[in-house]
């Protein structure tokens, strides 16, 4: 067991992946710069410029090149510097990478990994603070992983490398410096298995990525108020492990779903829908939803803080759901 940072976990996962000759990386400033979040530091020296490929600032072009290389049998890992810039690569991901297997009747496949960074809280304004992973999770043909701990980063990335389809591997900007234990022996966390990060009996809190961390902190505080919260970390949005969530709610009878993106259209609503559909008779109160405020993320620090869910809002929603 070693304690490493989330950033180091990504780096380790990439180094492991690069042992496979078919794997190479492409992205903006992943070379000498070391990546905008210092994740790829050192890789250029270790693996050379043929495999750690510095790209032009052309998201559609190089993501599509990754998709093509994947269709031709390689295992490219493309880095989109932040998920905000995926808006420029949407067509290649959604209309090409995701659909080619189906549209070719199963002939082609596109095992492309797109690593990217989601979330707000870094004071970088509305164009740089969005959480768009839910949109990709909606598209059949794509897988989406959203790890919240170094342990999950490593296990999920290994699973991502085993997929035969495009994977959006979505890291969180504020988690890179968080630390956690990882096992030494190589473990894999299969996609589609939510993780009960904390068990409890009074209410289920379902969350993912940084909001799973926020939910854990909220659960600790709730404990001191005498509320036993079970925290379910979804870990992958596609496939979505609704089973684990629904099972938990059947046990607790209450639920709150937490996410960072906007309420309207948020992925959490799908989870709410599944819970009320499959645990209706177990629910003692409406499923609560905690999501980002419905505004473009403001730069100014206190405004920004107010726009992103925090422990206090999770606690409030939990207490509301429990009628306290």
CA distance 266 to 263: 5
CA distance 110 to 126: 32
CA distance 118 to 170: 6
CA distance 250 to 39: 40
The catalytic position among 8, 28, 79, 128 is 128
Residue nearest ligand TPP by beta-carbon distance: 85
Which listed residue (4, 74, 88, 138) binds ligand TPP by CB under 6 A?
A: 88
Active site residue 96: no
Nearest distance from C-beta of residue 64 to other proteins, angstroms: 2
302 touches which of a second copy, other proteins, ligand TPP, none (CB within 5 to 8 A by kind)? other proteins
Name the segment binding a second copy (CB under 8 A); options: 73-81, 115-123, 167-175, 288-296.
288-296
CA distance 16 to 154: 10
Nearest distance from C-beta of residue 197 to a second copy, angstroms: 22
Q: Which of the residues 102 through 161 are near a second copy (CB under 8 A)?
A: 102-103, 125-127, 134-135, 137-141
316 touches which of a second copy, other proteins, ligand TPP, none (CB within 5 to 8 A by kind)? none
Q: Which of the residues 22 through 41 are near ligand TPP (CB under 6 A)?
A: 28
183 Cβ contact partners less than 8 Å away, ≥ 6 residues apart: 1, 151
Does position 276 interact with a second copy (CB under 8 A)? The reply is yes
Q: Which of the residues 70 through 99 are near a second copy (CB under 8 A)?
A: 84-85, 87-88, 90-91, 94-95, 98-99
CA distance 124 to 248: 37
188 touches which of other proteins, ligand TPP, a second copy, none (CB within 5 to 8 A by kind)? none
* Nearest 10 degrees: Cα torsion 219, 222, 224, 227: -110
């Amino acid at each position: 067991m070693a304690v490493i940072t989330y950033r180091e976990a990504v780096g380790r996962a990439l180094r492991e992946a690069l042992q496979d000759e078919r794997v190479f990386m492409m992205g903006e400033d992943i070379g000498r710069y070391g990546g905008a979040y210092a994740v790829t530091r050192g890789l250029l020296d270790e693996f050379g410029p043929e495999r750690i490929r510095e790209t032009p600032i052309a998201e559609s072009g190089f993501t599509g090149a990754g998709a093509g290389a994947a269709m031709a049998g390689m295992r490219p890992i493309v880095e989109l510097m932040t998920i905000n810039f995926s808006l420029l690569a949407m067509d290649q991901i959604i209309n090409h990478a995701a659909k080619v297997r189906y549209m070719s009747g199963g002939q082609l496949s596109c095992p492309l990994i797109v690593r990217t960074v989601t979330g707000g809280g870094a004071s970088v304004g509305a164009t740089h603070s969005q959480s768009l992973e839910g949109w990709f999770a909606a598209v059949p043909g794509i897988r989406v992983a959203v790890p919240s701990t170094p342990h999950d980063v490593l296990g999920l990335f290994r699973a991502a490398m085993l997929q035969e389809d495009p994977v959006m591997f979505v890291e969180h900007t504020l988690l890179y410096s968080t630390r956690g234990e990882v096992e030494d022996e190589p473990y894999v966390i299969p996609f589609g298995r939510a993780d009960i990060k904390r068990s409890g009996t009074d209410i289920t809190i379902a969350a993912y990525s940084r909001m799973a961390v926020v939910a854990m902190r909220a659960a600790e505080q709730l404990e001191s108020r005498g509320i036993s919260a079970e925290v379910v970390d979804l870990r992958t949005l596609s496939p979505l492990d609704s089973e684990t969530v629904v099972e938990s709610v059947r046990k607790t009878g209450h639920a709150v779903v937490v996410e960072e993106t906007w309420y309207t259209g948020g992925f959490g609503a799908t989870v709410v829908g599944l819970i009320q559909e499959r645990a209706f008779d177990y629910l003692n109160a409406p499923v609560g939803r905690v999501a980002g405020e419905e505004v473009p993320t403001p730069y100014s620090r206190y405004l920004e803080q107010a726009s992103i869910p925090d422990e206090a809002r999770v606690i409030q929603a939990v207490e509301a759901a429990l009628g306290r």
